[in-house]
Amino acid sequence: KNEVEQSPQNLTAQEGEFITINCSYSVGISALHWLQQHPGGGIVSLFMLSSGKKKHGRLIATINIQEKHSSLHITASHPRDSAVYICAVGNSGGSNYKLTFGKGTLLTVNP
Amino acid sequence: DAGVIQSPRHEVTEMGQEVTLRCKPISGHNSLFWYRQTMMRGLELLIYFNNNVPIDDSGMPEDRFSAKMPNASFSTLKIQPSEPRDSAVYFCASSSTGFGQPQHFGDGTRLSIL
């Protein structure tokens, strides 16, 4: 079973700061997902990646397969970025639909 | 485009009662997932359907839980009888089949069993 660890658990930043959230996993994967969960509870898929880097607006996700590590960066953070960010990994092999989730990182961006 | 639609948004009931959660996946998606989220355990997969067929129900906690997908546009998750430890947020998600397809989540059902 894959173990997914996220750090930090909680992060407080000032508006405009550069944010980094980290995710490590223990065994080989088919893909890694970053999800965002707002206080209202809805979950949105931000990125799915299996190598390299992806960028969407102010969000950048990177993955290092050899080191089994991924980072989610937010540039020029804004209070509306306040949410829980969840890393999830898909197992390699036949059950690649099955995601193992980290416990999430609670990000609070103050104005 | 309508997203994944779940109902009800909130459910409060007494232990022992039957609870039915409903999900309408995105049209054209042929994979459907039911998840449970708690503070202690985070998000956990309960059951996965592909083309309306249950493929993996290894996450279903016990016989009190059952899930059905009678057609491509509707699924239910039923708990009978409910217990206080079933209190959680239950999410339904759907995706297209195939590697690399993102899962689209509904807004969840917040279930409280008293």
Q: What is the DSSP string of A28-85?
A: -EEEEEEEEE-TT--EEEEEEESSEEEEETTEEEEEETTTTEEEEEESS--GGG-EEE
Which chain B residues contact residue A97 at CB under 8 A? Answer: 31, 33, 48, 50, 55-56
**Given this model, what pLDDT does residue A95 score?**
59
What tens digit of pLDDT does each residue of B19-61 get? 999 999 999 999 999 999 998 888 999 999 999 999 999 999 8
Average pLDDT of B79-85?
96
Query: Does A48 contact B102 at a Cβ distance shorter than 8 Å?
Result: yes
Contact A90, A33 (CB under 8 A): yes
B110 and A41 within 8 Å at the Cβ level: the answer is yes
Q: Cβ of B105 and A45 within 8 Å?
A: yes
Q: Which residues of A touch B44 (CB under 8 A)?
A: 101
Shortest CA distance from A105: residue in chain B: B42
Lowest mean pLDDT among A84-98, B49-63, B92-106: A84-98
